[in-house]
Structure 1
Amino acid sequence: MNLQCAPFFRRLVWPFACPDDGIRCGIQSRNVEFRKFEAGPEDDGRRADRVIRRLLPDERLSSVYGALRKGFIRINDKRIKPETHVASGDVLSVADFLLAQKDAAPAESSGKNVLPYEIIFKNEHFLVINKPYDISVQQAGAGRLSLAETVAAYYRSAGKSGAASLSFTPGPLHRLDRKTTGILFFSWSLEGAQWFSRQMAAHGLEKKYLALVQGILSSAEEWEDFIEKEDDSRPSFHTVRIVQSGGKCAHTEAEPVSSGTYNGRPVTLVKFTISTGRMHQIRAQAAFRGFPLLGDTAYGGAAIHEKQDFFLHAYEVRIPGNTLGLPRALEAPLPVFFNNMLNKTLINPENSSII
């Protein structure tokens, strides 16, 4: 639902008895503030009650039905039934008091249409950010919001300036590990999500990473392995291993950029290009060939005492021609701590043409 949101007022004079269905009481013969939302293409043909449940996720279905009966939720200024089908361009009007509890939720309490991450690209189909270090994409620990939750809240608040639909929830379109930084795509429309999924299945997107590895990689190499999850009972963290057969195919190209030292240990800045997106693909394949990421103790790297446990950054995605407004390539600048680490290892990032 297109959140072209502008509050307006309508006088309600119907008798209103306090129900037991969860709708707040005490509203009778007084000015009630309404908010209106314009239905977008992705809402077209959906039942009104299902669209409304997206807007009022904490209300019971009986509460929604009660609000519909009493005229506190309308379409095109007319009372509707739950089974009414929404059409693109319809205007949904919702009494403000029904939205008060939702607006008070912590994820949206600021009321500001601001995302606390660097936005690399945004249009009606995609949001692309430069993911920070040590933030989970989909699942976060107690008391912490994941990127998916934060972006979903931003999408809902951005409705005041053009979010696509209440029937659509944005989400990450690919994975980045919690401690990996860089380019991360989120869907901003169903059409965008479907296009991206097709490109992933066809290996149409070329993803490039920079990583600091132990040892000296002297020439470009191409790696193709089978990967499977380790048998690990830990619920919060899993590693993968290289197997002879039976796993998922992982293809990676490794190209040395520059070399240096860290505490007397030789290190190489490597550009990795992947066409598959397996869990821990770069970390596992690099370690298997004797070049674990510096600091990546889960895969045999030596422990370090820096601002990041290891340094792996998704710096570029190359994109095929499309009609959804995406450029042919997107790049994410290196984080400050990654640049600082390169200086410590005597690898000057300014001397590299790819950073």
Structure 2
Amino acid sequence: MEKQIEVIIKEEKGRVDKVLAERLPDHSRSQVQQWLKEDAVTLAGETVRANYKVKAGDHLVIQVPEPEVVDLEPENIPLTIVYQDADVAVINKPQGMVVHPSAGHPSGTLVNALLYHMEDLSTINDVVRPGIVHRIDKDTSGLLMIAKNDQAHESLAKQLKDKTSLRKYVALVHGNISHEKGTINAPIGRSKVNRKMQAVIENGKPAVTHFTVLERFDQFTLVELQLETGRTHQIRVHMQYIGFPLAGDPIYGPKRTLKGNGQFLHAKLLGFTHPTTGESMVFEAPLPELFEDTLKKLRKND
């Protein structure tokens, strides 16, 4: 279970990550920085950034996540490897597969499958995320880039940070979007109402999503989305925020929705510059069968 740590600042001064690391000797500064990155540190209910300078009397609350399982085992799980070489791989993740192990999902993850199918994976992330450069949600299908060594990982991560990689998604949303294109620029952070959810909040992290309408149905719209940033649940939160939540989304969508196995969201296109050759690489994955069948039914009903 999550545990809560409370720290009241007395006379300390300086950055919150440095001060918390000094006050909590059992936890490293890198661990504190990870908590800050995950929006687990709050002050008066507001998320605290890593560069925040503490003040006397500040009452900081840390929601410490459950410890993650670190006993990783290779598992012979079928994996669709779209591309791989000595440096990188591209995986088409099926809907329903968790990317990496955690307390709630100790096995059966993409990482367990990667350990079985690939000899080399980068080690930059913590022990439960070998090779993982970026993530998509359990019930989101589609393309992920995997780093097979640390040099490749650093290059791919930098491309994500510099917004030079290409990530396009296809989603089916509730409602009829009248305009052809749009951009959602709204900061995202942990919800103040439910800590397991993300939300658009005033002091959240910058988040930008571009969308283009592909097809309209009676009560739904098919859209293509391009990410400029990669916040947790970004597309799901942003589309709910503008009034067009994803069909099938069990957290951010309405209860009355299309039958499926979670949100109708697919990471369709992935592009990046190869870390070693400098070649521009672009990959595309077709929509899952359930997604395609749902679209066919909607077209027929219209």
TM-score, length basis structure 2: 0.67
Match of 2:215 among 258, 273, 278: 258
Q: What's the counterpart of residue 230 of structure 1?
A: 191
Determine the C-alpha separation between the residues in 1 that align with 2:224 and 2:192.
30
Offset of 1:152 from its aligned partner? 1.9
1:120 corresponds in structure 2 to: 82
Q: Does 1:176 align with 2:133?
A: no
Question: How much is the aligned-residue C-alpha RMSD, in angstroms?
Answer: 2.8
Does residue 1:146 correspond to 2:109, yes or no? yes
* SS in structure 1 of the partner of residue 251 of structure 2: helix
Q: Which amino acid aligns with 2:256?
A: A
- Structure 1 unaligned regions, length at least 5: 1-104, 157-162, 349-355
User: Partner residue of 1:155?
Assistant: 118
Equivalent residues of 2:79, 2:113 under 8 A apart: no
Paired residue for 1:277, among 225, 230, 233?
Answer: 230
**1:267 matched to which residue of 2?**
220
Alpha-carbon spacing, 1:154–1:322, altered in 2? closer, same or farther (3 Å): closer
Indicate conservation of the 8 Å contact 1:254/1:272, yes or no: yes
Deviations 1:162-184 (A, max 9, x none): x4899998421101011100001
Q: Distance in 1 between matches of 2:270 and 2:97?
A: 20
1:51-77 Cα shifts (integer Å, max 9, x gaps): xxxxxxxxxxxxxxxxxxxxxxxxxxx
Q: Secondary structure at the match of 1:277?
A: coil
* Matching residue's letter, 1:300: G
SS in structure 2 opposite 1:222? strand
From 186, 189, 208, the counterpart of 2:149: 189
**1:145 shift after superposition:** 2.0
CA distance, structure 1, for counterparts of residue 299 and residue 240 of structure 2: 23
2:197 aligned residue (233, 239, 245): 239
Residue of structure 2 equivalent to 1:248 = 205
Does structure 1 retain, via aligned residues, the 8 Å contact 2:122–2:131? no
For residues 298 and 177 of structure 1, the distance between their equivalents in structure 2, rounded to whole angstroms, comes to: 12
Alpha carbons of structure 1 residues 138 and 231: separation in structure 2 relative to 1, 3 Å: farther
Give the equivalent residue in structure 2 for 1:88: none
Give the corresponding residue for 1:202.
162
| Residue 249 to residue 142, structure 1, CA distance change in 2 (3 Å) | closer
Equivalent in the alignment of 2:6 = none
The answer to whether the Cα contact below 8 Å between 1:318 and 1:328 also exists between their aligned partners in 2 is: yes
Q: What's the secondary structure of 1:344's corresponding residue?
A: helix
Partner-residue secondary structure (3-state), 2:170? strand
Q: 2: CA distance between counterparts of 1:292 and 1:167?
A: 35
Question: 234, 243, 262: which is aligned to 1:309?
Answer: 262
Q: 2:74 corresponds to which residue? A: 107
Once the two structures are superposed, residues 206-253 of structure 1 have per-residue CA deviations (whole angstroms, 9 ceiling, x without a partner) of 21000000111122111101111114676xxx2111123x11011111
Question: 1:59-70 residue pairs with structure 2 within 5 A?
Answer: none
Is the contact made by 2:123 and 2:131 (CA closer than 8 Å) also made in structure 1?
no
Identical positions, percent:
30
Contact between 1:294 and 1:304, CA under 8 Å: does it hold in 2? yes
Would the aligned equivalents of 1:107 and 1:153 in 2 still touch at CA under 8 Å? yes
Distance of 1:296 and 1:135 partners within structure 2 = 16
Equivalence for 2:21 = none
Q: Is the CA contact (8 Å cut-off) linking 1:294 and 1:302 kept in structure 2? A: no
Structure 1 or 2, whichever has the larger Rg, is: 1
Structure 2 distance, partners of 1:307, 1:320, is: 35
Shift of the 166–317 alpha-carbon distance from structure 1 to 2, 3 Å rule, reads closer
Task: Note the C-alpha offset of 1:304.
Answer: 3.4
- The answer for unaligned runs of 5 or more in structure 2 is 1-71
Distance 1:324 1:149, change over 3 A: farther
Deviation at 1:306, TM superposition (A): 2.4
Please list, as runs of the form range in 1=range in 2, the aligned pairs for 1:69-88 lying within 5 A after superposition. Answer: none
* Superposition pairs of residues 33-72 of structure 1, within 5 angstroms: none
Tell me the residue number matched to 1:341: 294
In 1: Cα distance, 2:295 partner to 2:138 partner: 21
Task: Spell out, residue by residue over 1:81-100, the C-alpha distance to the aligned partner (whole angstroms, 9 max, x if none).
Answer: xxxxxxxxxxxxxxxxxxxx
CA distance in 1: counterparts of 2:122 and 2:167, whole angstroms:
29
Is the 2:81–2:92 Cα contact (8 Å) retained in structure 1?
A: yes
Runs of 4 or more consecutive aligned structure 1 residues displaced over 6 Å after TM superposition: 164-169
TM-score, scaled to structure 1? 0.57
Partner AA of 1:207 in structure 2: R
Partners of 2:271 and 2:121 in 1: CA distance: 25
